[in-house]
Amino acid sequence: MSGTSTAGRRDGSRVELQRAGPTNNRLPSVTRALGVSLVWSTRWSRVASRLGLRRGQHSRTVGISALVSFFDRLWLSAPLFAVVLVGAAIAHWTPWPRVWTRRLNQFVFAVPLPVLLFRAVSRVGGETQTDPKLLAAFFGSCALVFTGGWFLARRVLLVAGVDAAVVGVASVFSNNGMLGVPLVQALLGPEAMPAVAWIMTFNAVTLWTLVTLVVEISREGPVAWGSLARTLSRVAPTPIVFGIALGVMVAVSGISVPEPVGQTFDLISACAGPLALVALGLDVAHYDVRRGARAAGLFCGLKLLVQPFVAWGLCRGMNLPRLETEVVVLMASLAVGVNVHLMAQRFKAQEAAVASAFVSSTLLGIVTTPLVVSLLCG
């Protein structure tokens, strides 16, 4: 999950993602796009508030209710994207070295996020066992949309099997750590964090396994199980997984964390969301949205719109409770994850398109994530 640390080690040997021209010409466009999206989302939320379209005032129609929910979530998520804008502005207006961004990402994924997920899971007590249908719904949507993305890449984009595998995984790999955790905390509350922790536990391993298998098969040779094992050995033992596993052990055993230790963990956890969002803004500012735009459009459509609808249908079919359904739909509606560029670099496929999709989906997600969650979950 800590993708940027691997990217840092491979800078000398891996092909970098395609970037735009000079820094002064590249970054303002991203910063302006983030700013414009944020201003308009906040402006519409204020209009809704003045019109009385807020929760607590009972709406009489489903359409008005969805509109109320959308503006409410848009209002709640606007400050989070403002923090992303701060990160992009820092990258533009200060001499911020790219290596500092990598180090910040390494820190976020190694300390605050694992501590946050440990606290969320350990506080659940004896209810640490999650409904298997939660994982079935989320990863079922990943499998279905991955297959659809692979097929469309082969038939519409006319690319090779390896490229199609990267297209498929870019259509389902969410930005769970940097964007998902802060959004879930803001929109659904701390009671939703255990469900998020379970999804994050299996996400990277499952999707890395899927794309590696498809790539090996596409190369029309025997599956290189040794290469697959080496890939998984680098992905599976992450601080995120360790934090969640330790939280499960504490919860199941009934051990109580001493209050001073718990307060220290809470202080560390509190910085996870803001730091992750700043790091996301710093990352977004470095990529070019113009290269590979056609493939990036396919990524964004599948990731931001198709996957959450598929996930919602699976949740309804499995009769998942409301909170779990909201978690699955929200996590499925997130922007393309930064880890996808590691896959693009590893397999030397669709690098420019992945960079474009990472930026574009983050910008579009300011509106599409609260909109989709509101339409599907009310």
Counts for the chain of helices (H) and strands (E), in that order? 18, 0
pLDDT in 10s for each residue of the chain, 378 residues? 444 444 444 444 433 333 433 344 444 555 555 555 555 555 544 444 444 444 444 444 545 666 767 777 778 778 888 888 888 889 888 888 888 988 998 898 888 888 988 887 787 654 445 678 999 999 999 999 999 999 998 888 888 888 888 888 889 988 888 788 888 988 888 888 888 888 887 787 777 777 777 776 666 555 555 655 665 565 556 787 788 788 878 877 878 888 889 899 999 988 888 888 888 888 877 776 677 777 888 889 999 999 999 999 999 999 999 999 999 999 999 998 877 876 777 777 887 888 888 888 888 888 899 899 988 887
CATH number of domain containing 86: 1.20.1530.20
Which residues 6+ apart lie within 8 Å of 25 measured at CB? none
Of the candidates 351, 318, 363, the residue with the CA atom closest to the CA atom of residue 140: 318
Residue 90 near residue 282 (C-beta atoms within 8 A):
yes
- Is residue 38 assigned to a domain? yes
Q: Helix, strand, or coil here: 60?
A: coil
CA distance 327 to 199: 9
Query: Which domain covers residue 74, as residue numbers?
Result: 22-377
Token pair belonging to 321: 């409770």
The reply to whether the predicted model has a pTM over 0.75 is: no
Contact 279, 88 (CB under 8 A): no
Any domain includes 62: yes
Query: Does some domain include residue 295?
Result: yes
Q: Are 150 and 159 in contact (CB under 8 A)?
A: no
Tally of domains in the chain: 1
